[in-house]
Chains A and B, each alone.
Chain A
Amino acid sequence: MDLDDILALARTRQPSSLERARARRFARAVQSQYDLSRAEGYEIIVDTDLVDPLATEVDEATRVARAAQLAKLGTIIWTPLGKVAGSGRLTWSDEMAMIFGHAPGTLRLTLRTLGKLVHPDDLPTVREVIRTVWRQKRPDEIIFRVVQPSGSVRHVHCHLEIVETAGRPSGLIATGEDVTALEVARQERRRRTIRSQMLAADRYPQDILTGLPTRSYLTDEVDRARRTTAGALIVVATEPATRSPATLGDEDRDELTASVAQLLRTIVGDQMTCGVVGPGLWGVLLTPVDEDSDAAETLATQIIERFRSHLFGIRQRTSRLNTWAGVVHFHGGVQASGSDLLIDGEHAAHDARTQGTPITVLDKPVLDADRTERCRARIRRAVAADRFALFAQPIVDLRLNQVTRHEILLRVPSETGELVAPTPFLDVAERVGEILAVDKWVVDHALELIGRGTQTSHYQVNISGKSLADPGLLSYVTEAIHRHRVRPECLTFEITETALIENRNEAMDFATGIREIGCGLALDDFGTGYANLAQLKYLPVDLVKIDGMFVAELRRSPANQAIVSSLVNLGHALGIQVAAEHVQDDESIELLRDCGVDFAQGYRTGRPEPIAVSPEQQVRSIEFVFRVPPQCTALG
């Protein structure tokens, strides 16, 4: 069976008795309406043309134009004169003249005037469509913009048809109407569709590895809770219970972290707020909690017991966790902020570990002065005792497909002495005003290590935006560069923008000064921190590093792709290079390359490695980097 059979079959159909009845019923309804109007003596006004549509004896163009007029549509008729292309006679109906913004009869239409009325951007398309219609002798439709004499732009839909006289094509007729409202609505619908596709499904940015909320989200949630209700914050500290943590590779560690996060989520359930506080640190927020309730302690105990008894599988091996917890109670409207409470929780967990008890409970937040003092002392101790380490992570130049740079990264010792990512540590240091000491330590030691090497790579060193306010920083850095005999052109300073640049003028002096001696300047974590577009205009920045949040999910998120490619265009327009952090797979690298990103950095191109070895290895191809199994010992 094919279409012809189906059509033939459909045509044989006679109306069923039911359908005939429907037609009869309809006829009776019309009849009764008619009779009623006669009986009651009111006249139904027939506002319709009673001309027999089939008996009109006019030429085709006039007939179509007349029909269009009845349907409140405008028409333009074109009649060619001779064989000259692009010539001919044009006439338009009053309705069409009004669509184009002209009072009827005021403008004599020619091809030239018509061309001027159409929006210049749409004119080539309109011409092409009309030519094709005439050449192929077939009808078509087109929507184009019209610029009215007042300057306003309207969207017009036109139906183009071939007019015949005595069976031969003799001209064109365009039947049109103003569809601006429809077109605007269509564009709005399209915008809304794009917006809903682009809008992230999650309400908050998730930690890439664990899928749990990040530290900053948790901090805000705690802060929100403490303003209104009484509650409790549990901070859980975990560490692998192996004798030598160094035997665990990076990927083992990531796997372990992910399964701990999963287990935590299972224990606390979906309703409760929990998140990542730092490496091996987890936070759970309970609200509201009554003053004398011990719900928080019960939950903390439960978490510790489950964590301690659970056997975590890492590849073929298994591992147990050592676990401690700190609980901080707070009442509604407490002075201490969300981040203060988080620090108190960390300290409590730390105390539990040193005291050898599973849980330490604070009935209320610590006094501000005590907390600050404790944080400061811890940082000063660490700086004085050189308890930090420096790692280097390769950065790939995507145009050369080679590692041409390294970022020097700080690693801080955790309680077990493992070297971990410094994010929470630096956060606290910035808060209590000790970040300058840390930054100076990093600059001094990084330059020392670089000075000892061959200086063939390019090194990027982090400095907090907060430290820039210190007037002595520039001379400190300059002095260190000279002392360690580092070539300034091998250095770029990355301004991390987790804290606001404290003093703009001072920061500007540092930025200008550091570039005068030949170093580069970069903005780190661009797009999520305090860095704003005005800084791209005023600060002499050479490089912008797009925050990993936009890069990690690049493949699956069209929104991230749009943001990255726009930032690249913006950067390049301003003469600024663009780097991407947290590059996790080959497809992302390809996407970044297509976007025109200059540098890529992430686990896929190389994990951070202890600096003693890394910077000495010379420029390597990216393929080589891929083959090197990651042997280093910390989270990036």
Chain B
Amino acid sequence: MTGVEGTAALTPEPADQEATRKAEAARRKAEDDQQFAAFVEASYHQVERALSAKCRDRGLVEDALNEAYLFGQIKWSTLRDHVNPAAWVVTTARYKIMKAEQSRRRETAVAPDELPPSTPQPDIADVWTAQEALRTWLHQLPRRHAEVFQMDHDGFSTQEIAHILGLTKSSVRWYRAAAKKRLRELAEEAGYTDSEGRRRPGGSHGSR
């Protein structure tokens, strides 16, 4: 009977352990979730800009972001050990966009690049208009150039860009230079020619 009693007395024990384990798991999940949410908030704009340089369809970018981050959250335990988890998100979302564009192309056979150029930017007075002007000009560049330039501008290294976009490093360097050259031309066409802020008497004031 004691055995029965004992067993009976022991039964709550595993249940307790179970509860503790559950509580522990919940605590860990909450922690993970919090960590992941922080990652999303920190990386969202950077990732979104990189993808926008590739694809002008905002709806598609939004869908791809959503799926990539959701996958990211499911696999956060692996992902958090990555060098830069944002790189994985960009890569994953890019494949998603490419897949969608490929199937869309099969259906309609419309080239996504042939959109009318956006209107030129008025006076650049503040940070926001500067960024908007940049966005407008980037849309007039070949997509690969724009993508490389935007990611470079957002602080990704050459190595990272090459890995994320599946390009060779030499291509990344060349596209970045080509994009900058074309952007300078566009800026000059829009009337932004002289760098007043850096004019030194007698010295050259070429670009850094």
Contact = CB atoms under 8 A, between A and B. Distances in A.
Contacts of B169: 60, 164
A181 B41 contact: no
Interface stretch (A61-69, A477-485, A544-552): A61-69
Interface residues of A, number: 60
A342 B133 CA distance: 67
A5 B197 contact: yes
B27 interface: no
B127 A10 contact: yes
A71 interface: yes
A64 B170 contact: no
A84 interface: no
A5 B183 CA distance: 12
A189 to B, nearest CB: 8
Interface size class of B (residues with CB under 8 A): 35 or more
Given A23-B41, A26-B40, A55-B82, A7 B153 contact: yes
A533 interface: no
Contacts of B183: 3
B37 interface: yes
Task: Name which of B105, B106, B130 has the most chain A CB atoms within 10 A of its CB.
Answer: B130
B166 A68 contact: yes
Contact of B105 (A54, A71, A182): A182
Contact of B167 (A11, A56, A161): A161
Nearest to A34: B73
A185 interface: yes
Contacts, number: 180
Interface string A512-550: 000000000000000000000000000000000000000
Given A26-B65, A55-B82, A185 B168 contact: no
A71 B166 contact: yes
Contacts of B88: 50, 52-53
A163 B172 CA distance: 11
B60 to A, nearest CB: 15
Nearest to B154: A11
A30 B174 contact: no
Nearest to B111: A182
B167 A48 contact: no
B194 interface: yes
Contact of B164 (A3, A20, A24, A53): A53
Contacts of A175: 166
Contacts of B92: 48
Interface in B63-80: 65-66, 68-71, 73-75, 78-79
A162 B37 contact: no
22 contacts: A1-B124, A2-B188, A3-B184, A9-B127, A10-B153, A11-B153, A12-B127, A22-B44, A23-B40, A27-B37, A27-B40, A30-B66, A44-B74, A48-B71, A52-B87, A53-B164, A138-B170, A139-B175, A162-B171, A182-B111, A185-B110, A185-B111
Interface of A: 1-7, 9-13, 15, 19-20, 22-24, 26-31, 33-34, 44, 46, 48, 50, 52-56, 60, 63-64, 66-68, 70-72, 137-139, 159, 161-164, 169, 173, 175, 181-182, 184-186
User: Top 7 closest A-B pairs, CB basis?
Assistant: A67-B166, A185-B109, A27-B40, A23-B44, A9-B130, A54-B83, A52-B82
